Amino acid sequence: MTLIIREAVPADIAAIHGFILALADYEKLAHEVKADRATLEKYLFGPRPMAEVLIAEREEGPIGFALFFHNFSTFEGRPGLYLEDLFVVPEARGSGAGKALLRRLAQIALDRDCARLEWWVLDWNAPSIAFYRSIGARPMDEWTVQRVDGDALRALAA
């Protein structure tokens, strides 16, 4: 079966939302999902898109996605791509869809003169970590992620 990697269009919102819910369930974080179709449509396809999505598709329809956006490295003086989410449905894992999505992201990064492509992975997700190592990704163990959200974000902004 032919695998196609394509840019998402507004008609893909239901599939994108479904992939986000499935990923959250896999990561045991379904209780944290606040995104709905209307919000996704606004921020992915509205007047000022905040992120982009690639769809992995076979004849039967979408089987995975990658949601990404630009960041910027002050040290490099160049943009980068940040991969927020990569997900392939369980029945299509091992088919090359995940690697094809990452390959397309690497091509986009190079086409846009990005210095790097980066993402996070949960510590317990051994299959994904092994996959990422197999394509040459390396951990950034010396860095610790920091986050301000919810009430703390509102308090900081006040």
- Tokens, residue 151: 């009430």
For 77, phi then psi, to 5°, come to 70, 25
The partner residues of 85 in beta bridges, in order of sequence, read 67
- Tokens, residue 114: 């990005």
For residues 42 and 139, the answer to whether their CB atoms sit within 8 Å is no
- Tokens, residue 106: 């690497």
Residue tagged active-site, from 26, 43, 82, 132: 132
Residue 82 annotated in active site = no
| 62: enclosing H helix or E strand | strand 61-73
Residues annotated as catalytic are 132
